[in-house]
Structure 1
Amino acid sequence: MSSPATIAVEELDDRVVVTLHRPQARNAINAAMISELHDVCAGLEDNPRLLLLTGAGGVFAAGADIAELRARGRDQALRGINSRLFDRIARLPMPTVAAVDGYALGGGAELAYACDIRLASPAATFGNPEPGLGILAAAGATWRLRDLVGASVAKQVLLAGRRLAAEDAWRLGLVAEIVPADDLLKRAHALLDRMARSGALALRLTKLVTDAPGGHPVTDDLAQAILFETQEKHTRMDAFLSGERS
């Protein structure tokens, strides 16, 4: 990937850390950022690793770029410029974590909703003010937020303009933890460390089955059948049993 202009990317053996970085626009998501995040996704699809998403300067992302949205018409809406990216992030093979400090509004909120797990600082604020601009939250909020917090709260956010402060987001299950801003990335890495200690294929299949619509026992059985035949399963269980006997 060429040197990105709107994000900072740190590549590690078991994870990729992406920091949204448009300080002049409070990390608003524009076309350049979308393209650069697609490049990140392509790399993670080819070489599956954990993903940590965060924002620079005490803001996650304060929305989509309004000037660009103002210029978009029907044809751009039908292309799903933002929604296709967020869907791609949601479908990444390995777990994703959003570390949210400050505003996650509009498209920024929808990007956070697309991640598997969210951590928040006490200053985190989630909201979808799109109807106030004459549009709707069309990049996943209308159904992802409902799945995450329930229809009643989702309608309060999407229709009545309610913003969810960190405490509300934690109480409703939207975020897993509230962490002081100075410790937010450290805690996010600790969470990723814990996941990285699990079997990579087990994580991938667990995410795939969990996200599959409807769910079915046969899906569970097929995924488990694959894992039961792996050497990693035998190695990990032998290690567990050896420790149990010692």
Structure 2
Amino acid sequence: MSYNNIKFEKDGVIGILTIDRPKALNALNTETVTELNDCVGKIENDPEVKVVIITGGGSKSFVAGADIVEMSTKNAVEGRFFGKIAQDTFTRIENLPQPVIAAVNGYALGGGCELACACDFRYASENAKFGQPEVGLGITPGFGGTQRLPRVVGRGYGKELIYTASMIDAEEAHRIGLVNKVVPQEQLMDEAKKTAKKIASNAKIAVQLAKAAINRGINCDVITGIAYEDEVFGLCFATEDQKEGMAAFVEKRKANFTDK
């Protein structure tokens, strides 16, 4: 896959998607978001990719936000269209069958924080900075931030970050639950890959069904969510990996999953 503003490569069963506009601090313009959407569409249909890591090119920024230069000239119709493209892309990332880890190096502001929140969980380098600065620019978060950020960190912290347009460091992001782990910058990708490999070593179908159940349950009442869990739990017993996993446990050996 060849793009102007992003890169995608495979490291075994791990797909690494890099927003690669370092001179613009990886800011999201229309072309970048369109490329991202195209790439994600290919990833979701790639059986070789078991886990995805999303990161930013260069050492300063994950994604510093949407491209303000491009946005500054838009009218209401154009602004809404731009927001819809990004919302659809981030929702597609959220709903990828594969687990997605955000490896956040440097700035994750505005659209960058929203992109990170669309991933399943986040690892941050010590120099990471998070925030939703939109109200300081006369707009609201428009790429899912008003919905996903409060779901990740809770209403109180989410509202405070959005209303104040404050920027927080990696340690504070870890304290409020926005990121799972903070590591030195030079260790960030190794740590994300280590976790990705651990995920990939498990039964692929079971991992993907677990993700689907979690995502479905978060957006409905608990009784409906549990009913969906019951369905995917039952489906697992139709897989070869369930038979192999349980046989390996009984026989005290390592399971050899075949993703079937």
Q: TM range, normalised to the smaller chain?
A: over 0.9
Q: Which residue of 1 aligns with 2:20?
A: 21
Q: Which residue of 1 aligns with 2:180?
A: 176
Q: Which residue of 1 aligns with 2:65?
A: 63
Out of 165, 169, 189, the position equivalent to 1:165 is 169
Q: Which residue of 1 aligns with 2:237?
A: 228
Which stretch of structure 1 is more off in the superposition, 90-99 or 35-44? 35-44
Q: Distance in 2 between matches of 1:161 and 1:42?
A: 32
Q: Which residue of 2 aligns with 1:146?
A: 150
Q: Distance in 1 between matches of 2:91 and 2:238?
A: 31
Q: Distance in 2 between matches of 1:161 and 1:222?
A: 42
RMSD: 1.3
2:125 partner letter: S
TM-score, normalising length from structure 1?
0.95
Which stretch of structure 1 is more off in the superposition, 8-17 or 197-206? 8-17
Q: C-alpha offsets along residues 77-110 of structure 1, whole Å, 9 cap, x if unaligned?
A: 4431211111111111110000011110011111
Q: Which runs of 5+ in 1 are unaligned?
A: none
Map 1:67-86 to 2 at 5 A. 67-79=69-81, 80-86=84-90
Aligned partner of residue 130 in structure 2, secondary structure:
strand
Q: Which residue of 1 aligns with 2:256?
A: none
Matched, 1:31 2:30: yes
Q: C-alpha offsets along residues 116-169 of structure 1, whole Å, 9 cap, x if unaligned?
A: 010001111100111111111011111111011111111111011222211111
Q: Which residue of 1 aligns with 2:197?
A: 193
Q: Which runs of 5+ in 2 are unaligned?
A: 254-260
Deviation at 1:30, TM superposition (A): 1.1
Which stretch of structure 1 is more off in the superposition, 177-186 or 153-162? 153-162
Give yes or no for contact 2:122–2:179 (8 Å, CA) kept in 1: yes
Q: Distance in 2 between matches of 1:115 and 1:71?
A: 30
Deviation at 1:13, TM superposition (A): 4.0
Aligned partner of residue 71 in structure 1, secondary structure:
coil
2:234 partner letter: A
Deviation at 1:15, TM superposition (A): 2.1
Out of 98, 109, 123, the position equivalent to 2:102 is 98
Give yes or no for contact 2:34–2:85 (8 Å, CA) kept in 1: no
Give yes or no for contact 2:108–2:128 (8 Å, CA) kept in 1: yes
Q: Distance in 2 between matches of 1:38 and 1:236?
A: 35
Q: Which residue of 1 aligns with 2:214?
A: 210
Deviation at 1:182, TM superposition (A): 0.4
Number of residue-to-residue matches in the alignment: 243
Percent of matched pairs sharing the same residue:
37
Q: Distance in 2 between matches of 1:182 and 1:237?
A: 38
TM-score, normalising length from structure 2?
0.90
Q: C-alpha offsets along residues 19-56 of structure 1, whole Å, 9 cap, x if unaligned?
A: 11112111101112112111211112211531101112
Which stretch of structure 1 is more off in the superposition, 64-73 or 94-103? 64-73
Q: Distance in 2 between matches of 1:175 and 1:104?
A: 12
Q: Distance in 2 between matches of 1:163 and 1:39?
A: 31
Deviation at 1:71, TM superposition (A): 2.6
Give yes or no for contact 2:90–2:143 (8 Å, CA) kept in 1: yes
Q: Distance in 1 between matches of 2:130 and 2:69?
A: 21
